[in-house]
Structure 1
Amino acid sequence: MTSIDLNADLGEGFGRWRLTDDEQLLSVVTSANVACGFHAGDAATMRRVCAQAAERGVAIGAQVSYRDLAGFGRRAMDVPATELAAEVAYQIGALEVFARAAGARVAYVKPHGALYNRVVHDEEQAHAVVDGVRLADPALPVLGLPGSRLLELAAKAGLPTVAEAFADRAYTEEGTLVPRGRDGAVVTDAAAVVERSVGLARSGTVTAHSGVRIEVRARSLCLHGDTPGAVDLARQVRRRLEESGVRVEAFV
């Protein structure tokens, strides 16, 4: 039977402000990308989300990013490689404390936002992320875009790699994500997101922004938790996947 992991970005609040419905999404997804305080999240939020994830058996992932709270980690930044590696390790270590306190562990690492897109092509920044992950735990899987420099360098460094697809983001013909500033970069039609999810899981293909069908082979499927109606959409996606004979389970 075909299987797929469903992941979502969670813990993306700060202080009294909350962006994602963490508790409800944790009842649907199988992996949680938890913000580690650099683009969103704080100690109390990280602790709460880790406890809730552990209680539901959801895998906990460290969503590492550039230090950019004001820009939600989506602004381009130039961070020296040694500094970035240290900051990646720092974020993983912070989340690990709360994961262990909840009786779980950090099971994987996923870059966020501008860093995610940067390490698709930028070898120096990708190396820095890999170095940071290895500093924290040389056995941690890395989640990223298929064909990215990040996954290539992570594999060379001996880290397990997991390819990821996006049901609610538009793709270029090259298999990269359409930049958020462009029209149509985010797929907002719920029915389209659901059908794209099934196509990605069953055939490993998706229609690019240009209309061309492209191959995107992935083990994990991301649903953004900060989109309107995210919880209902996630439920629709999971239900349709299971109705299509796809087993939904964590990759770790």
Structure 2
Amino acid sequence: MVAANIVIKSCYFVNDFSCYEIAKDFASPVLATIAILFSVLIAFMQLSKQHKNTLELKKEETKSKTRIDLFKEINVLLESSNTKIREVHSYCFGKKYSNLEMRAEIDHVEFLELMKNFSNALLVVASKMESHEIVNFKLFRVFRFALYSIHHDLLALQKEQDRFKVLESLIKLTDDSMMYFGDFQVCMQNMAYGVVFDSTVPQRIPADKRIKVITNCPENLDKLHIYFERESNWGKNCLKYENEAKEEFSS
């Protein structure tokens, strides 16, 4: 009986307080706790967003710096090779216009020396393009294919008996090479510095629309890729050997 009376009295003690009074007493601490948790959550989200933005900014800065460093590295190589090609072009051009007829021939010994210098200048750049295609796959590959195409036509001149035609062809091939080098340098400048200076270098626009121009335009690069891979002398030769290899190993 004593225990029962104690329980009843305890219940009476609780009943003396209303739910409102109990809630009022605990409301402030609970709300304060919720506010603190909410503030911490917002702060965490802001810090997370700032961290993400910082990482993205660093990523873009790294990419930009990499593009600029790569452009400088490649540009040194392009200038070096282009200088050698210009020397070949100047020699052939001067030889052609050394007489009133503006027609001259080049002997085989001269040609072999010029071919060696021209060939080395093309291949060293083509090799560099192949090892850096990840930078811009389509652009670097098309430029490389263009150089291989010129190199193929250069080597084919070894069998040409018409020495006048050899000289004319050398002038044409060096012209094409210098134009492609210039096109690629424009693309690289725009890639490396376009965002930095908020400007772009205009592409080459030849009067003869049949002339190929390398631009960093996906549609144009697709067309050039098809042309060099399938329609150029180099491309046709590659397809020929590829088909011959398939026939040989499929039988």
TM-score by length of 2: 0.21
Name which structure has the greater RCO, CA cutoff 8 Å, separation 6+. Answer: 1
Q: Which has the higher helix share?
A: 2
TM-score by length of 1: 0.21
Bigger Rg, structure 1 or 2: 2
